[in-house]
Amino acid sequence: MTKIQHFLKHNIVGVVTVVSLFLLFFVLPSIFSGSDLLLNVNRLMIILVGLTYIIYKYMMFRQNYPNFKFAESTTLVNVLGSVIAIVIGLIFGLILMFFVSPANAMPGFFTILKGGFNNLKSLGNMIYFSVPIILTGLSVAFAFRTGLFNIGATGQLTMGAFAAVFIGVRGGFLGDIHPLLHWGVAVLGAGIAGGIWGAIPGILKAYRNVNEVVASIMLNYVAMYLNTILITTYIYNVDYARALDIERTSATPTFNLDLLFPTSSVNGGIVVAVIIVIILYVILNKTTFGYELKAVGFNRDASKYAGMNAKRNIVYSMMISGAVAGIAGAMMFLVVGKHLKPENILLQEGFTGIAISLLGLSNPIGVLLAGLFYGSLQQGGYYMQLYDFKPEIIDIIIAVIIYASALALFLQTFVIRRLKAREMTIDAKKVVEQEKEGDK
């Protein structure tokens, strides 16, 4: 009890923020569903509360650490680097739009910026479309934190999608069970399939010293062709040249989110995504297991001498990464009306996941935000067709953002230099003031 009281006492503003956000986002809209005024007031309130919270935190921080140098905070520098990369990408997009159609460039650009925050429907769609991307982003980010580059999220996603759809279509063997359980089994199956597919490059890396990037690229294509074979053999709908319809019981439940965002295609996938964000965050930051995984990533030999099983840890982290990507596949295709197709095409979500992971600084919470950002841009691209721009410009912008963040070193030195310059002038002012006081 005392612990909870202590927590409340020291985080009162945070708790109030979370509760009020919850009220604003989840409770009020379900009472007055879908009025525009409400949405605007909501938005304003969220921004105000958010700003107040940030200012409060900043002041507390300043009070506690008066001599803190911001240039030495790697998180801050990294985040600023990401922000600059995003700005560069958006400016590139704007220039391209001016080049294509000068008259429509500005309104089109604002549509992108507005993105998913157009109305409740687009907000719901933004959440719906960002779920698989958040999950693949998490998959790549988890591997990246443990020193591995999982470019094979696409293949793991494909295998997961097949497993999920297979269980969804042929759910009969499970007997007459609760629908949620059917869905759960399908998601679990997807996770296992993706995990196995992810473990293969892990095993090759750990025991045969094969570069995991190359192995996963190969496995992407193997998965793509294997998927076609499996679909046409087991769950083929010849009339439509696609997989059979999944049973309704295995579709992702909406958890009543569809009441919140009427007419959008939102479903409960975001809940799964948030749960996985929390799980991965806890594994990485709060457990010995996660610490070992990270240690092996930093220095395989050193962690071996510290008594860790480096090989086993590499396999584990690739397996977890693959499982998350597999669940992304389940979230994509456990939807009524969506079908796996035997098309021999790599699913792009896996590669977008790499981008999202980089943008989110390989931090689970960062990835969540970056994924929502991407979803918002995507909705912006959708609405931008009103101004006669093609939605592919979003991918161009994202590619430029990724390229810019690959130049992180350059950006970070830039940020550090600016911060240092600022702090030096502040220090100089302080010195001058002190001298003045001394003179008096």
Partner 1 sequence: MDGLTFMEIVYFIFPLIIASAVPLTLVATGALYSERSGVVNIALEGIMLMGAYVGSVTIKTLESSGVSPLLNLFTALIFGLFIGYVLYLLVQVLLNKIGKLSLFEHIAIRIGSYVILAVFSTLLMYFVLNASSQNVQVALVGLLVGAIVGIGFSLFHAYASINMKANQIISATALNMFAPAFAIFINRTFSANGTQKVTIQGSYRIREVPFFSDIPIIGDLFFKAAYLSTYLGIVIFIVAVVVLYKTKFGLRLRSCGENPHAADSLGINIYKIRYSGVMVSGALAGMGGVIFVLSFAANFNATVSGFGFLALAVLIFGNWKPKRIILAALFFASMRVIANTYSVIPALKNLNLDGEIYSMLPYVATLVVLAFVSKNSAAPLAAGEPFDPGKR
Number of residues that bind partner 1 (CB under 8 A): 47
Binding test (CB under 8 A) with partner 1, winner from 71, 226, 274, 279: 226
Binding test (CB under 8 A) with partner 1, winner from 28, 100, 174, 185: 100
31 lies in the site for partner 1, by CB under 8 A: no
Of the pair 211, 425, the CB lying nearest partner 1 is at 211
Distance in angstroms (rounded) separating the CA atoms of residues 125 and 117: 10
405 lies in the site for partner 1, by CB under 8 A: yes
Alpha-carbon distance values, 319 to 61, 316, 405 (Å): 39, 5, 27
CA angle 357/360/366 to nearest 5° reads: 125
Note the residue count of the chain: 440
355 lies in the site for partner 1, by CB under 8 A: yes
Distance in angstroms (rounded) separating the CA atoms of residues 162 and 102: 45
Binding test (CB under 8 A) with partner 1, winner from 103, 106, 278, 399: 399
Continuous segment of H or E residues that includes residue 243:
strand 242-243
Q: What single letter denotes the amino acid at residue 33?
A: S
Contact present, 119 and 36 (Cβ < 8 Å): yes
Alpha-carbon distance values, 115 to 108, 123, 208 (Å): 10, 9, 46
Alpha carbon of residue 230 to chain centroid: 29
Provide, rounded to whole angstroms, the least separation between the CB of residue 316 and partner 1: 20
217 lies in the site for partner 1, by CB under 8 A: yes
74 lies in the site for partner 1, by CB under 8 A: no
151 lies in the site for partner 1, by CB under 8 A: yes
Provide, rounded to whole angstroms, the least separation between the CB of residue 430 and partner 1: 35
Question: Coil, strand or helix: which one is 117?
Answer: coil
Of the pair 358, 372, the CB lying nearest partner 1 is at 358
Of the pair 312, 390, the CB lying nearest partner 1 is at 390
Provide, rounded to whole angstroms, the least separation between the CB of residue 342 and partner 1: 9
Distance in angstroms (rounded) separating the CA atoms of residues 238 and 354: 34
Residues that bind partner 1 (CB under 8 A): 96, 100, 149, 151, 204, 208-211, 213-215, 217-219, 221-222, 225-226, 228-229, 232, 344, 346, 351-352, 354-355, 358, 389-390, 392-396, 398-400, 402-403, 405-410
